[in-house]
Homo-oligomer: A and B are copies of this chain.
């Protein structure tokens, strides 16, 4: 499979969002220019990013909205659902267990794990929660490839180690803690605090 640059991948969900709105508005065709305006991305980049889909634009009417939507979805593997396990059913973890947007984005969180007795064997937003001690056996049995970390930062490395030993190939880390894993494991961060840092500083600079 072709390796797509990270910067392109990160913009693809924005195009999907634009295309979804166009679909909802009943539009069948769209030009690069229009996508560029709505997604707030330069036209040259839009053209380059979309070229990875191999979808052809007609000189007169542009792209077919449905065709482009499906092609981008396929590129992200979001047309297919991947099962994942989440560790750390606190506030953020619970929220993610109930986050319905993931279903449209190829991600299904099928179980949560925690070590707090009051959470073990509970059900949060319809998702069962098990003891963290059962993670390895269950992940191996269900052949789970994606692990989500929503524990406190100081436990992130321990959980990452357990995940790697349990056959997890991709870790989605919601803590700011940099985890160390073998080179073949994919790690992605949702860095809320980097974003908050920019917001706080820019606001302070203006005052």
| B192 and A190 within 8 A (CB) | yes
Smallest CB separation, A65 vs chain B (Å): 17
**Cβ distance A36 to chain B, nearest Cβ, rounded Å:** 12
Identify which of B96, B105, B169, B197 contacts A12 (C-beta below 8 A).
Answer: B197
| Interfacial chain B residues near A204, Cβ < 8 Å | 1, 76-77
Q: Is A200 a contact of B99 with CB atoms below 8 Å? A: no
Smallest CB separation, A186 vs chain B (Å): 5
Residue of B nearest to A145 (CB): B203
A91-120 interface bits toward B, Cβ cutoff 8 Å, 1 = contact, 0 = none: 110111011011001110000000000000
Partner of A177, one of B9, B17, B196, B207: B17
- What mask results when residues 150 to 167 of chain A are scored 1 for a CB within 8 Å of chain B, else 0? 000110000000000000
Tell me which residues across on chain B come within 8 A of A54, comparing CB atoms.
none
| A198 near B188: Cβ-Cβ < 8 Å | yes
Tell me if B107 and A99 are in contact (CB < 8 A): no
A10 touches B198 (CB 8 A): yes
Separation in Å of the A106 CB from the closest CB of chain B?
6
A203 touching B95, Cβ below 8 Å? no
A207 → chain B closest CB, angstroms: 8
A178 within 8 A of B: yes
| Minimal Cβ-Cβ distance residue in B for A125 | B91
Q: Which residues of B contact A95 (CB under 8 A)?
A: 91-92, 94-95
Residue of B with least CB distance to A184: B206
User: B200 contacts A78, CB within 8 Å?
Assistant: yes
Judge whether B202 and A186 touch: CB under 8 Å. yes
Indicate if the CB atoms of A98 and B91 lie closer than 8 Å: yes
Residues of B near A67 (CB, < 8 A) are none
Q: Give 5 closest A-B pairs by Cβ, nearest first.
A: A95-B95, A77-B204, A10-B194, A91-B98, A13-B193
9 A-B residue pairings within 8 Å (CB atoms): A13-B193, A76-B204, A77-B200, A92-B95, A146-B199, A170-B203, A172-B196, A172-B199, A188-B202
